[in-house]
A and B are shown apart, each in its own frame.
Chain A
Amino acid sequence: MFKLEKRPQQSQKWIYLSPFLAVLITMISGGILFAALGENPFEAIRIIFWDPLFDPNFASYSRPQLLVKAGPLILIAIGLSFGFKAGVWNIGAEGQYILGAIFGASVALAFYPMESKFIFPLMIIAGALGGFLWGLIPALLKAKLNTNEILVSLMLVYVAESILASVSQGLLKNPDGYGFPGSRNLQNYESAANVEIIANSGMHWGVLFAFITVIVSYIILTKHIQGFNIQLTGQAPRASKFAGVNPTANIVFCLGISGALAGLAGMFEVSGPSGQITIEFNSGYGFTAIIVAFLGRLHPIGIFLSGLLIALTYIGGELAQLMLGLPGASIQLFQGMLLFFLLATDLFANYKVKIGADN
């Protein structure tokens, strides 16, 4: 068998190498999966990873979609990475995303049909606030009563989904919608629409926010005391207490920030690509962002890149559905496998592997 020897420090080389290795292994085993489903594996891999960007027939449509999908993933994943670094596990980003969308859309619909340039900024604030408040619930329960934040934040996803169903059939329902559930389409409401900043690029305000968040979080993590506190709490909880890190403030910061960013992502989605609040508005970005955060090594630049990669698998997956009739769920499986292989290859960063060594 093999023998493991713990490294005194994580291997820097392997920290950067293992995501690439994981992607490679995922492609190979994905190919095997597609072959098992009766498809040509090379064609399937090409359709998922190459055609959305370079195929002359599809690229004009798919390329903008890359940013549309990557924007919310990056926003949410950056928020999650703060908590994951500190050992605060927010896995309810999906719920915070929904609440952000509901808050943002509510502001817009309250002003409808007034036109003003203040409406969109107000919606941004409301969206962030909605997600922040939803993230604050597990944060305060964790900080004050030591309640497990994993379970509470997840339970709140189901509560948020019920609220979403309720408001799309009641409070926020389009009065001119002929009785169908769902709100007014915000894309038809000029002051509230999250439009593309550069035409046909997919670059809407949410994507811009995501890029800014990447830069700001990079600065916080590398230059600011809060970034140091977070990393210290994660690596040595006891030492961080001696160093004077306030655990309550730390938990509230981590869950609050990730809630606010997830809420923003939801707001930009509902006012942009999705356009309206409906019962099935949420599409699982909050869960996929967990994979994005880990694949990006909880590092802002890494998350930026992994967000683009996972967005590519979404678009490629849609294309594969269209071209090969592959079920949509196979992409979900693909993304999950990627996380597994990443966790597995992380072994090399933390341990030296000696094959065939004796005791």
Chain B
Amino acid sequence: MDFSSINPALLIASLMVSATPILLAAIGEAVVEKSGVLNLGVEGMMIVGAVVGFIVAVNTDTPLLGFVCAAIISGIFSIIFGMLTQYLKSNQVATGLGLTLVGLGLSALLGRPYEGMKSPTLKALEIPFFSDIPVLGKMLFSHDLMIYFSIFLVTSVWWFLKYTHAGMVLRAVGENHDAAHALGYKVVRVRMLAIMFGGATSGLGGAYISLARVPQWTEGMTAGAGWIALAIVVFASWRPWRVLFGAYIFGGVTVLQLNLQAAGASIPVEYLSMSPYLITIVVLVIISSRGNQGAPASLGRPFHASS
């Protein structure tokens, strides 16, 4: 066993790569849940994004276009969930599960001809001056565009929820949809927009897995990332900066166990690969034992305007 082969600077850099898919999906889901909707279809939307992004990127040789299409298609895909839960008043838990099952099936169908292919990847953006700083430069300032975009997205969501009128309306809808409706806010419209935003960012997250992190297409490649994103939203108490924090902690655990595997640690591989999931459970337990602070009061409740 040789732990000296684990380089801390590279560890941080790969931590950010490994956390970004979950971060993108989780920040979108945080907005969805803030509006009072529980969408358990994150995994399905992610894998649809992963396959669409991959197909577009391979055929056009432009990874960026792949990301854009992944966001659009996953956003459209999430409308199915929105239509069913918001207009047809279906059960949100069951519909979200259905979205995941359909997404997994659809992506396997679409991705079959692309199995095992390599995708073009995003080039790293070396930020002038900063990327030349020893250690820190490699760690923080030589990443691809999507990593910076994900941090920008967290900042925007934080600013949107905290300082804009629209953000306040969204939070009001999530806290008490009947009161928000009585004040004349369009509950269903706000929620549909939130759901589509969540779909789009999940699609970006999925595409980041198939275009940057791995980068190839294999069936079921999201491997529970969407569910972990859901757990991170709970962990973060629905606050954007804590979503970032939680995703990076999770990314750290994943990268560390991969590094330990590569360094030949004496712990069997299977126990290392189950560790991210076990740690997620432990974190959920710790959070819930303190009481679920910050859960939107109308989360998961169906809304029906009686007048």
Contacts and interface: CB of A to CB of B under 8 A. Distances in A.
Interface of A: 4, 6, 89, 91, 141, 145-148, 150-152, 154-159, 162-163, 165-166, 170, 287, 290-291, 294, 327-337, 339-340, 343-344, 346-347, 350-351
B292 A146 contact: yes
Contact of B105 (A91, A165, A335): A335
Closest 5 CB pairs of A and B: A329-B108, A332-B105, A333-B105, A336-B102, A162-B274
Q: Chain A interface secondary structure, helix, strand, loop or mixed?
A: helix
A291 B105 CA distance: 14
B30 to A, nearest CB: 15
Q: Chain B interface secondary structure, helix, strand, loop or mixed?
A: helix
Interface string B271-285: 101100110110011
5 contacts: A141-B288, A151-B281, A155-B280, A329-B112, A336-B101
Interface residues of B, number: 46
B45 to A, nearest CB: 13
B184 interface: no
Residue from the set B97, B108, B223, B224 with the largest chain A CB neighbour count within 10 Å:
B97
B33 to A, nearest CB: 12
Given A327-B112, A329-B219, A155 B281 contact: yes
Interface in B20-57: 40
A298 to B, nearest CB: 11
Nearest to B304: A6
Contact of A145 (B84, B104, B285): B285
A193 B145 CA distance: 57
A69 B124 CA distance: 49
B109 A330 contact: yes
Given A332-B105, A336-B104, 17 more contacts: A146-B292, A148-B231, A150-B40, A151-B227, A155-B224, A155-B278, A162-B277, A163-B270, A165-B270, A291-B98, A329-B105, A329-B109, A329-B219, A334-B105, A337-B102, A344-B88, A344-B90
Contact of A151 (B95, B104, B284, B306): B284
B89 interface: yes
Given A146-B292, A150-B93, A340 B274 contact: no
B23 to A, nearest CB: 17
Contacts of A335: 101, 105
A340 to B, nearest CB: 5
Given A327-B112, A330-B109, A162 B270 contact: yes
